[in-house]
Every structure is written in C-alpha cells, then in structure tokens.
Amino acid sequence: MEQGAYNPYMTAQTQFDQVAEQINLDPAVRALIRQPSREFHFTIPVKMDDGGTRVFNAYRIHHNDARGPVKGGIRFHPQETVDTIRALSMWMTWKCAVVDIPLGGGKGGVICDPHDLSMGEQERLCRGYVRQMVKNFGPAVDVPAPDVMTNGQHMLWMMDEYEAITGGHYAGVITGKPVGMGGSLGRREATGYGVIYTLAEALPKLGMDLAQTTASIQGFGNVGEYAARLYETLGGKIIAISCWDQHDRKAYTFRKKEGLDIGRLAEIKDTFGSIDLDKARALGCEILPGDAWIAQEVDILMPCALENQITSEAFTRISGQVKVICEAANGPTTPGADKLIREKNIYLIPDFLCNAGGVTCSYFEQVQCNMNYFWPLDEVLDKLKFKMTAAFHAVHDLAWQKSLYMRDAAYIIAINRVAEAVKMRGWV
C-alpha cells in the first residue's frame, strides 16, 4: 500500500513537518519554506529527425534562495512528475544548507526518454529548455546541473544556448560541464566519493573497520560506480549490485559472494549504468531479480539510484546483519520505513547529507568558473573531503548529544540555517 501511495513531495513535507514541530519553528517561516517559492511549467517544441515536431512537458522549480542562487539538476525521465521535482528542490535546499554552501534549492525535469532520442534531438531539446528559462537562469539566479539521464554534453549545449542568447561568456551559469569547457576535475567522482567520505567517518563511531565490512548497492550509474570504487579501494567488499537493464526494461542484481570486481564491472556497463548480462556471467556473477540487493547478508546497504526503494514492505527483507544504510539516492526511504529503521537501531546517513558531494563539487565548479582559474584534482577532492566530513561530524555530534535520529539531526541543522537567512533578510 505504501508503495502505491508514495509521493516524494509528501514525504519531503512530512519529514520537514516532523522536525519543524521538534524545534518549534516560527509558523510564518514554516509556511514559507515547506513549499517552493516559485514554479515554472512549460512546453518545449522540438523538430524531430523525421521532419515532424514533438512537444515535451518540462519544469523548473525554485524552492528557496534565501542563502544564495538556487542550485539543482535537470532530469530527463519518461515518468517524471512535478511532485518529484518539488521534493528534490526542497531536498536541495537542505543539502546546500547542511554542508554550509551559499546556495539554495532548485530542480528541473523534462518528461522524455533520451534513449529514444537521437543526439540531434536531445540537443534541440536542451536548447529549447534554455530558451524557455533564460530569463530565470544565470550565475546569480539559478545554476542547473546534470541529473538522471543527463550529462556534461547536455549541460554544454545548455550553456552554449544561454551564451548565444545573452551575448557573453558565462561558464558559471551551469555546472557538470566537460573538463576543459568550464567543468571541474573531480565532479564525476564527487557524489560517490562523498558517500564514502561520510561512511568512513561513521564506521569508527560504531566500532566498525571499513576494511572488514561488506556492502550491497542499488544503482551503478555515476554515483554507484564511484562509491563502489572508493569503498573497494579502502578495503570494503561489495557482494551485490543492482542496476537497470535497458534492453530488457527491468532491473537485475549481480551477486558474487566472494566480492565483485568493480573495475571489471565498470568496463562492461553502458553510459546509462546497465551491466552486460553475458559478460557479467563470464565474470562469475549470479544474476538475481532486481530487488534482491536489499535482502543480502551485508553490513551496509547503499541505495544509489531512485527514490522510494526502502519501504515498510521492503524493510522486512533487510538482513539482521545490516548495521548501516547510506542514502546515496534522493529520497530512497519512506517515512514508514524510517520508523522501522529507528526501531532496529540501524545507523542511517541521510540522503541530503550523504549525497551532498555532488552539489558541493558543483559549487566548487561555479567558484572556479567565476574566478576563471581551475584547481588540480587533488585540491578539489581535499576540499570535498573537508566539507563532507565537517558536515557529517556536525550532524553526528548533534544526534549523539540530543539522542536524535540522524535524519532529524541533519534537518535541524539545515532548517535552522535556512530559517535564519529568511529572518535576517526580513522576509517574515
């Protein structure tokens, strides 16, 4: 029942309301920041390769910009919904606040499946998106980035269209661009590495040695792959990875109890994170149903793909061995499952802290573009690790001192920072 009724925006507001009650948040502030400040709903006509025209529905939502320009990805997905984008824009506000970077939350999306579009059609779609939003984009207003099924090439087309319309060079208008065209080194690794930076800080608090732990991962796109790579480098063993198979249009779980070779798996996946079934079998992988990842006997679960994966029903399948859940995806856990996680005393690293490495490195890219000076990879990753570990300790210490659930502690820090900015600006 929870699966069918899931609405990410309701989840985001429920999580917010619970913490707003705890901290006795001012009613006016609460009313202001529990919903987006502005929404753009628009259509994009695209000339298709066959000579016809197809019209795509698209969105851009600004949740709150009290702390700085809104920041957030643009998703291409055939099942995209406006409530998903509302929720993600809200989570982006908290994400920027919890790692203490001067940005607000935004998110965008187009209802489409890029697998079914040629590169030329995708380019025209990207440029059409910018033409609709150009008056509300800009380095000091709204800075988009890649998200589900978008990449650096899409962002470069968008930047080029913005510059063509405005008549200047504004590399800081968008992030996630290719290196050499205003992109930052480390951006590809940032979200996945950030997940492991927080995990590496959490495990000693629990008396656990990362090199002695096992993990199961859902998702093998950019986030899942680089989280897996760093976790493996630090000595951890991944026994299962679940990912979507584009050919069969369903997910599979790839399992190898003695440990998967992440480098080899990365070599046999496509650009959308799908692993080749036959080549995986040749590497000794068992092929299991897509949802089998959550039932593995491991120490750590890492949902790294879409929202609504750990529901009350799915929780009943989690092994008693699991000690930690790292929410590398946005909104992977429902409020009902949150209650069960608390009761089982599983340590949770909440999504808007755990996966904040991506937006943090996007902020670094923006800073570098505005300076027109770019840092070497080691410097980017050092700064990323510093930001992520400082944010983790702030949340963990508050949770420990006040006997709070980690998600609630992260929300308290983030909401208080946004509320303070709103009040200081005199908005309420």
The percent of residues in the chain predicted with pLDDT above 90, rounded, is 91
Which range has the worst mean pLDDT, 30-34, 272-276, 356-360, 394-398? Answer: 272-276
C-alpha separations of 186 from 359, 365, 374 in Å:
12, 9, 11
C-alpha separations of 85 from 106, 195, 377, 408 in Å:
8, 22, 31, 22
Q: Which residues contact 27 (CB under 8 A, 6 or more apart)?
A: none
**What angle (nearest 5°) sits at the alpha carbon of residue 117, between those of residues 115 and 119?**
105
Question: Do 8 and 307 touch, CB atoms closer than 8 A?
Answer: yes
pLDDT for residue 4: 53
User: Are 220 and 350 part of one and the same domain?
Assistant: yes
* Overall average pLDDT of the 53-72 stretch: 98
Confidence (pTM): 0.93
Centre a 10 Å sphere on the Cβ of residue 233 and count the other Cβ atoms it contains: 10
Which amino acid makes up residue 176?
A: G
- Identify the burial level of 67 via C-beta atoms within 10 angstroms of its C-beta, where 0-12 means exposed, 13-18 middle and 19 or more buried: buried
User: What DSSP assignment string belongs to 402-421?
Assistant: HT--HHHHHHHHHHHHHHHH
User: Are 289 and 265 part of one and the same domain?
Assistant: yes
Indicate the number of domains in the chain. 2
Q: Which of 58, 62, 60 is nearest to 40 (CA)?
A: 60
pLDDT for residue 3: 46
* Confidence check: pLDDT of 352 > 60: yes
User: Are 415 and 316 part of one and the same domain?
Assistant: no
* Confidence check: pLDDT of 117 > 70: yes
Q: Which of 156, 148, 159 is nearest to 179 (CA)?
A: 156
In a domain, 48, yes or no: yes
- Name residue, tokens 């996630």: 176
In a domain, 336, yes or no: yes
Residue 286 bridge partners (DSSP): 255
User: Are 85 and 226 part of one and the same domain?
Assistant: no
Q: What is the CA radius of gyration of the chain?
A: 21
pLDDT for residue 274: 86
* Confidence check: pLDDT of 304 > 90: yes
* Confidence check: pLDDT of 120 > 90: yes
Q: What is the CATH number of the domain that holds 204?
A: 3.40.50.720
d(C-alpha 332, C-alpha 334), whole Å: 7
User: Are 195 and 342 part of one and the same domain?
Assistant: yes
User: Are 177 and 249 part of one and the same domain?
Assistant: no
Q: Which of 109, 8, 112, 125 is nearest to 61 (CA)?
A: 109
In a domain, 164, yes or no: yes
pLDDT for residue 1: 36
* Overall average pLDDT of the 243-262 stretch: 91
pLDDT for residue 244: 85
- Name residue, tokens 């929202």: 307
What 3-state DSSP class applies to 85?
helix
d(C-alpha 227, C-alpha 188), whole Å: 11
The percent of residues in the chain predicted with pLDDT above 70, rounded, is 99
Long-range CB contacts (within 8 A, 24+) of 274-278: 274/243, 274/244, 274/245, 274/246, 274/247, 275/220, 275/241, 275/243, 275/245, 277/245, 277/252
Which amino acid makes up residue 348?
A: L
User: Are 159 and 232 part of one and the same domain?
Assistant: no
In a domain, 198, yes or no: yes
User: Are 264 and 321 part of one and the same domain?
Assistant: yes
User: Are 86 and 165 part of one and the same domain?
Assistant: yes
Q: What is the CATH number of the domain that holds 142?
A: 3.40.50.10860
Q: pLDDT tens digits for 4-31?
A: 567 899 989 999 999 999 999 999 999 9
Q: Please give the biggest Cα pair distance in the chain.
A: 64
Catalytic residue among 107, 237, 256, 387: 107
pLDDT for residue 5: 63
d(C-alpha 200, C-alpha 271), whole Å: 28
Q: Which of 374, 48, 316, 4 is nearest to 184 (CA)?
A: 374
User: Are 170 and 242 part of one and the same domain?
Assistant: no
User: Are 86 and 164 part of one and the same domain?
Assistant: yes
Average pLDDT, the chain: 95
- Which has the higher per-residue pLDDT, 167 or 245? 167
pLDDT classification of 307: cutoffs 50, 70, 90: confident
User: Active-site residue 107, yes or no?
Assistant: yes
Centre a 10 Å sphere on the Cβ of residue 259 and count the other Cβ atoms it contains: 12
Q: Which residues contact 145 (CB under 8 A, 6 or more apart)?
A: 71, 72, 73, 74, 155, 174, 175, 176, 358, 359, 362
In a domain, 223, yes or no: yes
Q: Which residues contact 216 (CB under 8 A, 6 or more apart)?
A: 238, 239, 240, 241, 242, 293, 294, 296, 298, 300, 301, 302
Q: Which residues contact 246 (CB under 8 A, 6 or more apart)?
A: 115, 270, 272, 274
In a domain, 213, yes or no: yes
Q: Which domain holds residue 409?
A: 35-181+404-428
In a domain, 373, yes or no: no
* Overall average pLDDT of the 126-133 stretch: 98
* Confidence check: pLDDT of 272 > 90: no
Scored b (16 or more CB within 10 A) or e, 365-375 reads bbbbbeeeebb
Cα dihedral 382, 348, 337, 355 in deg (nearest 10): 0
d(C-alpha 92, C-alpha 76), whole Å: 18
In a domain, 415, yes or no: yes
* Confidence check: pLDDT of 46 > 50: yes
User: Are 197 and 155 part of one and the same domain?
Assistant: no
Among residues 354, 386, 412, the one where a domain terminates is: 354
* Confidence check: pLDDT of 148 > 90: no
